[in-house]
Amino acid sequence: MGKEIKLCLVYRDMWQSSGKYVPRVDQLNRVAQPIIDMGCFSRVETNGGGFEQINLLFGENPNRAVREWTQAFNDQGIQTQMLERGLNGIRMSPVPADVRRLMFKVKKKQGTDIARSFDGLNNPQNLENSFKFAKEGGMIAQAALSLTFSPLHTVEYYIDLAMKYLELGAEEICIKDMAGIGRPVSIGKIVKGIKDRHPNVLVQYHGHSTPGLSVASSLEAARNGADIIDVGMEPLSWGTGHADLLTIHAMLKDAGFSVPDVNMKAYMKVRSLTQEFIDDFLGHYINPRNRYMNSLLIGPGLPGGMMGSLMADLENNLKSLNKWLAKRDKKAVNQEELLIKLFDEVQHVWPRLGYPPLVTPFSQYVKNVSLMNVIQMIKGRERWSMMDENTWGMILGRSGKLLGPLDDHILKMARDQEREFYTGKPQDLYPDELELFAAKMDAKGWEYGEDDEELMEYAMHPTQYEDYRSGKAKERFLEDLEKRKAASGQQATTVPVAAPSGTSSADYQPKSMMIEVNGERFKVAVSYGDEAPEKRATLEAPAPSPSPSVPTDSKAILAPLEGKFFLTKESSETPIQVGDVIREGDTIAYIESMKVINAIAADQSGTVVEIVARHGEEIEEDDVILRIK
């Protein structure tokens, strides 16, 4: 009998590598027992990553989802695992240490056994707290090596990194091949290097299948001592997802490894239910291209987990770009052309930004800068003319030290914009906030929840949590789903709607609805008279200054891209006011686009005479932001 290889079903990542959303809690509960009945999994990835945020976006309580979804596996002794992003916790931006500590405590209480922690820059100092907090909370601390392929990311580099993680308290190691571009032989050498030094440390391989290398990588990992292989299954295997269970199972068995048998009746049940969830509503958020494998991604090395959002961003930006080109009687660009230009630009940009591993969130930053460069150059503007604030944070060391040197042009831009580099410990930049959010919940009369889970959720995802509690998130989701179903010719169906926890069904009132009159559809607002203060929007926006009569010879400053407009990025900032004198190059506002914040610089100098754009509202490219004289 050969060495035993265990299998982990990455059911959460299967969905998020394919599209935007994950199944609802009622759907997850239905599929849990058939997954158990398959009889071949020692672990199941149940939550983490964007799971919480995505639940909030479609109006569901993620704490309830995690507790109910993990329960069946806990009862059967199947370990559950989550993905967390180190300094960023389970969101895309840094998290205060006290919120991170509470997160691990809550997730263990909710039924999650293993915390797979990774840092987007592979900085050990950002993961030290993750290992410490995970073990304090009773979880197994697994450290993930964010795998990428560059002249700097060698076999020796990753073996040394694993040793540092173990010294800091990690109990297991994951080879996180998020783009599937790790070369199989090198992955085997990394696993062997770890096992030679620590034969009793469990090593787990996680590889996306996008460019087609992960099957061979799974075999090389197993041959060199890996203990667990992550797999996906139909109808969400392959493409930007993961190698299929049946393929990996057959390959390992033929190679002489001992692998548990698969109950095919249960397999077909899970397969059928997963397809049912896709047909219900999730398929409307899965780009068909994400179901294809693509060897072109070996070059740019973009991860499968972000391809869903990439294609959505590409689609939105393509519409905006072609609208801009049409206004100027220029030839339109198709999606294939834009995609190839983007891949080429990633390869140009990546080394100049210091070779950050292409994993969340830094893969998004590299992709966003590359896409902005492509769009700006198509418009006849200079490369690097639009750099979002999140990318600047990475460049300046606010997330830790980059492995490679920055390009001279980037350094000059930083000097010209008087930006300061940070060399301290990144966590120190983000002071504790639990008391602040506890006070906000007290003021609103909101309960902290079992094991303080609602407090953790609010502190982790404040904007999304407030939208969930108010019902805005569910309203927006249902409206968007209705549009997508109508566009696909599918008859609209009712998606189960649960009132947010802590509210009664009477409090959960729609703010708009779709009605049909003589075959024509209209969106109408619903009013309930004067609302109590606690039912109003909780996000406070700076009020634009009242505008006097606008001079006829005023000049407009236009939005350089589409997205959500903000006058300020942080509450401590003072927004632009009518009467302010601005200089060309001054930051005047921000636009959130493609999950990052873009500072908008004035392209001319003058005195502000009118602020046109509204804080927190969507804005189109070339819309007027403000007028100056």
CATH, residue 60: 3.20.20.70
Same domain, 191 and 306: no
Same domain, 260 and 320: no
Same domain, 106 and 250: yes
Closest CA to 339 of 370, 363, 369: 370
Same domain, 18 and 131: yes
Phi and psi at residue 596, in whole multiples of 5°? -130, 160
Least reliable range by pLDDT among 22-26, 132-136, 611-615: 611-615
Domain with 598 in it: what CATH number? 2.40.50.100
Q: What is the mean pLDDT of residues 79-90?
A: 96
pLDDT band at 312 (very low <50, low <70, confident <90, very high): low
Q: Assess if residue 600 is contained within a domain.
A: yes
Exposed / middle / buried, residue 462 (Cβ in 10 Å: 0-12, 13-18, 19+): middle
Residue whose tokens read 């479609």: 58
Same domain, 76 and 216: yes
pLDDT band at 334 (very low <50, low <70, confident <90, very high): confident
> Is the predicted pLDDT of residue 539 greater than 50, yes or no?
no
> Is the predicted pLDDT of residue 1 greater than 80, yes or no?
no
- Tell me the per-residue pLDDT of 92-103, one tens digit each, with 9 for 90 and over: 889 999 999 999
Q: What is the mean pLDDT of residues 420-425?
A: 94
Give the burial string for 407-440 (b: 16+ CB within 10 Å, else e).
eeebeebbeeeeeeebeeebbeebeebbeebbeb
CA separation (Å) from 543 to 285, 567, 570, 611? 35, 9, 14, 10
DSSP three-state, residue 60 = coil
Comparing 234 with 615, the larger pLDDT belongs to 234
Same domain, 41 and 173: yes
Same domain, 287 and 308: no
Comparing 603 with 275, the larger pLDDT belongs to 275
Closest CA to 561 of 379, 304, 354: 379
Same domain, 221 and 308: no
Q: Assess if residue 441 is contained within a domain.
A: no
> Is the predicted pLDDT of residue 41 greater than 90, yes or no?
yes
Q: Assess if residue 200 is contained within a domain.
A: yes
Closest CA to 527 of 543, 551, 549, 511: 511
- Tell me the per-residue pLDDT of 483-493, one tens digit each, with 9 for 90 and over: 999 988 765 44
DSSP character string of 287-341:
-GGGGS--GGGGTT---GGGHHHHHHHHHHHHHHHHHHHHHTT-----HHHHHHH
Q: Assess if residue 21 is contained within a domain.
A: yes
> Is the predicted pLDDT of residue 160 greater than 70, yes or no?
yes
> Is the predicted pLDDT of residue 417 greater than 90, yes or no?
no
How high is the pLDDT of residue 543?
A: 52
pLDDT band at 528 (very low <50, low <70, confident <90, very high): very low
For the chain, the average pLDDT equals 87
> Is the predicted pLDDT of residue 592 greater than 50, yes or no?
yes
Same domain, 19 and 167: yes
pLDDT band at 620 (very low <50, low <70, confident <90, very high): confident
Please identify, among 237, 260, 291, the residue that sits at the C-terminal boundary of a domain. 291
How high is the pLDDT of residue 13?
A: 94
Please identify, among 375, 394, 428, the residue that sits at the C-terminal boundary of a domain. 428
Q: Return d(Cα 192, Cα 197) in angstroms, integer.
A: 9
Q: Return d(Cα 37, Cα 205) in angstroms, integer.
A: 24
Q: Assess if residue 1 is contained within a domain.
A: no
The β-bridge partners of 596 are: 593
Q: Assess if residue 433 is contained within a domain.
A: no
Please identify, among 291, 315, 347, the residue that sits at the C-terminal boundary of a domain. 291
Percentage of the chain lying above the pLDDT 90 cut: 62
Name the residue range of residue 50's domain: 6-291
How high is the pLDDT of residue 534?
A: 36
Same domain, 247 and 209: yes
CB 207 within 8 A of CB 177: yes
* Residue 374: how many other CB atoms lie within 10 Å: 25
Is the pTM higher than 0.75?
yes
Same domain, 282 and 309: no
Q: Assess if residue 70 is contained within a domain.
A: yes
Q: What is the mean pLDDT of residues 105-124?
A: 96
Q: Assess if residue 414 is contained within a domain.
A: yes
Q: Which helix (H) or strand (E) holds 524?
A: strand 520-525
Same domain, 197 and 58: yes
Looking at the structure of the chain, the number of domains it has is 3
